[in-house]
Amino acid sequence: MISYITGKIRSLTREPGRAVVIAGGVGYEVSLPTYVYQSLANEGLNVGSEVELEIYYHVTDRQPKPMLVGFRHPSEKQFFEQLIQVEGIGPAKAAAALVFPVSTIASAIETEDLASLQRLPGIGSRAAQKIVATLRGKVAATALLQDAGISEQGQQTAVPQASDARSEAIEALVTLGYRPTEAQDKGDDVIRRSPETVDDLQELMREVFKAQVSTQD
């Protein structure tokens, strides 16, 4: 099983999104969702460039040829793995649907924006409803990726008594690119407003996302 590849790009195509990466003398064909291809292009990565990719590896008895799907960030791969848990959405369909950053799609799920989900290739009204029904409340952390590392604000504040959920939430936000003090502020603000979230990681992250959305409105 392959979960990560680092090597040199031998070939790279947009339609379909695909790269051949040479690692250890072996060429690996990796499917690239549209937004992943675009992120490589935006960084000027092309044939001959070194690249690092998180890999989702898929093979079944009915599909013995391995399918490798590449991502730039572990959270993107995790979101993909959540998406393929939705009834009727397999790896190929999910990879084709990811034409926007996963943060944008996760935000649409959390806000029940069915119209935006139906803009994804291969996702109709029924599929959009299934995605929301299956994943809403579970992808708030991914939705927060869109703001990772952007804010320059956030002052040191008194930290409430630690809980496992709070500590894990702060660690998750830092992983997403937030400054440690900013991550603490966001988590602690939610806990002050909704003390019941202090021991519930999923609910705490969901409330952090909701607070982020409300500040953007």
Q: Are 193 and 97 in contact (CB under 8 A)?
A: no
The three-state secondary structure class of 93 is helix
The three-state secondary structure class of 74 is helix
The strand pair at 67-71 and 4-13 is best described as unpaired
- Amino acid at the residue 196: E
Task: Provide the pLDDT for residue 128.
Answer: 96
Record the pTM.
Answer: 0.68
What the chain holds in terms of domains, given with CATH numbers, is 4-71 (2.40.50.140), 74-142 (1.10.150.20), 148-216 (no CATH)
The yes-or-no verdict on residue 89 having pLDDT over 80 is yes
User: pLDDT per residue over 35-66, tens digit each?
Assistant: 899 889 888 889 999 999 999 999 887 777 88
Closest of 122, 75, 74, 114 to residue 98, by C-alpha: 122
User: pLDDT per residue over 138-192, tens digit each?
Assistant: 998 887 774 333 222 223 333 334 456 777 777 777 767 777 778 778 877 877 7
Q: H helices of 86-200, where?
A: 91-97, 102-110, 114-117, 125-135, 140-143, 164-175, 180-193
